[in-house]
Amino acid sequence: MIAVRGLTRTFDGGVSIGPLDLTIEAGAFTAILGGSGSGKTTTLKMINGLVTPDAGQVAIDGRPAGAEAAHLLRRRIGYVFQEVGLFPHLSVAENIAVGPRLAGWEKPRIAERVRELLALIALPPDVGARLPAALSGGQRQRVGLARALAARPAIMLMDEPFGALDPLVRQALGEDYLALHRALGLTTVMVTHDVTEALLLADKVVVMSQGRIIAEGTPGEMLSDRADPAVRELMAAPRDQARRLEALAAEGRGR
Amino acid sequence: MSDRFAAAARLLPDYLSQHVLLSLCALILGLLISLPLAVAASRSPKIRWPALFGASLVQTIPSLALLALFYPLLLAISALAKSWFGHGFAALGFLPSLLALTLYSMLPILRNTVAGITGVDAAVVEAADGMGMTRAQRLVRVELPLAAPVIMAGVRTAAVWTIGAATLATPVGQTSLGNYIFSGLQTENWVAVLFGCVASAVLALAVDQLLGLMESGLARRRPWRVWVGAIALALGAAAALSPLAAGSGRAAYRIGAKNFSEQYILAQLMARRLEAGGSSVAVRDDLGSATIYRALAAGEIDAYVDYSGTLWANVLHRTDNPGRGAVLAGLKTALARRDGVVLLGPLGFENAYALAMRPDRSAALGVTSLDSLAPKAPDLTLGSDLEFLSRPEWKAVQSAYGLKFRKLVSYQPTFMYRALADGEVDVISAFSSDGRIAAEHLVVLTDPRHALPPYDAVILISPRRAHDARLLAALTPLIGAIDVATMRAANLSVDRDRDKLSPAAAAAALARTLKTRPPARR
């Protein structure tokens, strides 16, 4: 369980985030939804200490995050970056192996794990020897995901993990990840600006705007008529799109 | 030509090994200081600005001046160390050269390392943090490998600069490829000058190419290139340094010489006599005339030849002229009392400062003495060596005769004689024992008012060798044994354009003429 209590952060430009209070249950798939500048990426980075909060605290499984060195905490948390940030001087396999190496795994176990993850993200084994520069954007994001998963973290923080993918691959990888999340019993927090993606993958949606949480609930609650007006406005666009697609489909059937 | 080339080639193992040792140590020391400093500077702007500013400031100091400045600095520190711990250290030669070159090598390494580390993609740095790397792990596994090609480019620049600037270590007493250039310039041995330039250029280019191979290997992730470059560099360095390992240890005696032909010849002459007695001797040529006395007093060289007037004015700071014998006697007691330096005795000739003119100009203007020069001087140009105009002798002559020249120009002695021959200057500050005075029939202007002090060539012995029987036995027979004609002939044999002798050959010839003379009585 991740407990966020009174977290605030003000940047030099005057932009301020929080105070944030948020509880993420173990095993949950939480989506933080919001437009650009809403503070969702900063919130994610404050959870694993990449951004230091001005006040408030984060507790993971009841232990305050500040109780241990930041780098030790981060080794137990998988993080997928929006810019991916693969190490350009390391091969795909070496990139995936970074986490296990930091955790001090034996070499054969690391090699085995790399093979396993290449299969999981549906990349042929020979890709392992390539440098990131030789991969497509989608392949790089898959490798970024595999790298975050490699050291078997219990918590996954993902910042727009499927952003650079074409829609087909994006949906497929999203579904694949959801299956993995369930099979491994992960606790996942995903930041996205894509309303449909958030609603379809997460079991809890947190909506942020101008540095504050304005709503949280299950996807069903988000779509219900009782929701806050701002949330209803956010949900209107995908609902409208879905209705129009349905109408087009009916028109096609009618011909 | 081929003789001079062969003579230069024979010196190559010694000069090259010293040059490589100096450059290599300076570069390694530069790396050891610059890399950690650059890492700290890349983390903190508070360190970055002063570090880069300091390194840039060093670059603005001419490299020869930087080398020269380290000598008095180290001498002072050595004196302090001696008073505190009872041990001094050698302030001449390797140490000042090493420190100056190390400072000189720092800017490109610092600047490139800072640029390389701060230039690493912010997303990659954040990913390293997000994966749970410590700062040290991030540095070693991510930042340094990614910055390596840029850092290597900096090391390459530093290496080329260091190898080039190491030729300037010669005047502070460190043997280097610069010995060819400095002594070649003094004795007009252009083969030697060219040999030194080409040797240091080839060395710099070879190192640059091999480091370039390593740099491209790092940039394109081709480890074999890095290895080939590194192994070739290591083998090259080992080959160049091998003469050092072969020549076992330090020479027993060190003889110093200033930077002109007479000094080279006399240093070789003293060295030959010591070697004939079975001692090993190292000659340190091209020492600056201000540093050489301090080097002797500090025991860094054991003996050299200086001139009474120079010591009288520059070491004892005297401006009077009590006469030849009184100056010698005064020096002997004053130097012994003040510094423990032994004035062994005069060699028998004077090498005085004298103003000289071409015979045709002298006749045309009717100038034969400094008195007759004074009224004509405002229309004439004086050519001097690099130090004459800042010496007390010049001030003494100037005030005694009221000399005011139209123009004053300083030259390397070699070029000063050329300028006089070409008519670019009318009067020069010559040396009375210079072979070129006789060879070019120059008119030496008389000094009726005795403004110029006497310049007897004297052998000085360092305090720690004051009672060294072997040294004294080898050098004492030289006292009173060389008259001015003999010295002029020896100087001319080195300075002339045709049938030029090396200083060592001239010293050998001089030694043969001395043997035919009756033993010195003094």
Do residues A33 and A46 touch, judged by C-beta distance below 8 A? no
> Angle, to 10 degrees, between the axis of helix B178-186 and the axis of helix B190-219?
160
> Residue A55 corresponds to which tokens in the numbers above?
């006040």
Residue of B nearest to A82 (CA): B123
Environment class of residue B129 by beta-carbon count within 10 Å: exposed (0-12), middle (13-18) or buried (19+)?
buried
Supply the mean pLDDT for chain A.
89
Asked if B123 lies within 8 A of A147 by C-beta distance, the reply is no
CA-to-CA distance for A27 and B186, rounded, in angstroms?
A: 86
Q: Which residues contact A253 (CB under 8 A, 6 or more apart)?
A: none
Least CB–CB distance from A48: residue in B124, B130, B141: B130
Asked if A74 lies within 8 A of B142 by C-beta distance, the reply is no
What was the pLDDT predicted at B318?
A: 85
Q: How far is B43 from chain A (nearest CA, A)?
A: 17
Least CB–CB distance from A85: residue in B126, B137, B221: B126
Best of A71, A91, A145 to disrupt the B interface (most B CBs within 10 Å) is A71
Give the DSSP per-residue string, A147-164.
HHHTT--SEEEEESTTTT
Query: A46: which chain B residues are within 8 Å (Cβ-Cβ)?
Result: none
Q: What is the pLDDT along chain B (522 residues), one digit of tens a residue?
A: 567 788 788 888 888 998 999 999 999 999 999 999 999 999 888 988 898 898 888 888 888 888 888 888 887 887 788 778 776 676 777 888 999 999 989 999 999 999 999 999 999 999 999 999 999 999 999 999 999 999 999 999 999 999 999 998 888 878 899 988 888 887 777 888 999 999 999 999 999 999 999 988 887 778 889 999 999 999 999 888 887 776 545 678 889 998 888 999 999 999 998 888 888 888 888 887 777 888 898 888 899 999 998 898 888 888 788 888 899 999 999 999 998 999 999 999 988 888 999 999 999 988 989 999 999 889 999 998 877 888 777 888 888 898 899 988 888 777 888 889 888 899 998 888 888 888 888 898 888 888 888 889 999 999 989 888 889 988 999 998 898 889 988 988 888 877 888 888 899 999 888 864 444 433
What was the pLDDT predicted at B234?
A: 93
What was the pLDDT predicted at B88?
A: 67
Best of A75, A79, A105 to disrupt the B interface (most B CBs within 10 Å) is A79
Asked if A87 lies within 8 A of B129 by C-beta distance, the reply is no
Q: Which residues contact A112 (CB under 8 A, 6 or more apart)?
A: none
DSSP structure class, residue B387: T
CA-to-CA distance for A93 and A100, rounded, in angstroms?
A: 12
What was the pLDDT predicted at B119?
A: 92
What was the pLDDT predicted at B522?
A: 37
pLDDT at A100 over 70: yes
Kindly state the helix (H) or strand (E) to which residue A90 belongs, with its residue range. Answer: none
Please name the residue ranges forming H helices in B220-260: 223-246
Q: Pairing relation of β-strands B353-357 and B427-431? A: antiparallel
pLDDT digits (tens, 9 = 90+) for B376-409: 889 999 998 877 888 777 888 888 898 899 988 8
Q: How far is A73 from chain B (nearest CA, A)?
A: 7
Q: How far is A254 from chain B (nearest CA, A)?
A: 51
Least CB–CB distance from B130: residue in A50, A72, A86: A50
> Residue A121 corresponds to which tokens in the numbers above?
């993200």
CA-to-CA distance for B156 and B152, rounded, in angstroms?
A: 6
> Residue A30 corresponds to which tokens in the numbers above?
């939480």
> Residue A122 corresponds to which tokens in the numbers above?
């549906």
Query: B142: which chain A residues are within 8 Å (Cβ-Cβ)?
Result: 87, 89
What was the pLDDT predicted at B519?
A: 40
Residue A29 near chain B (CB below 8 Å): no
**pTM, to two decimals:** 0.72
Residue B223 near chain A (CB below 8 Å): no
Residue of B nearest to A102 (CA): B133
ipTM of the complex model: 0.89
Environment class of residue B334 by beta-carbon count within 10 Å: exposed (0-12), middle (13-18) or buried (19+)?
middle
- What type of residue sits at position B130? G
Asked if A85 lies within 8 A of B121 by C-beta distance, the reply is yes
Separation of first and last alpha carbons in chain B:
42
Residue A51 near chain B (CB below 8 Å): no
pLDDT at A226 over 80: no
| 3-state SS assignment for residue A209 | strand
Four-residue CA torsion sign, B398, B403, B408, B413: negative
Asked if B123 lies within 8 A of A83 by C-beta distance, the reply is yes
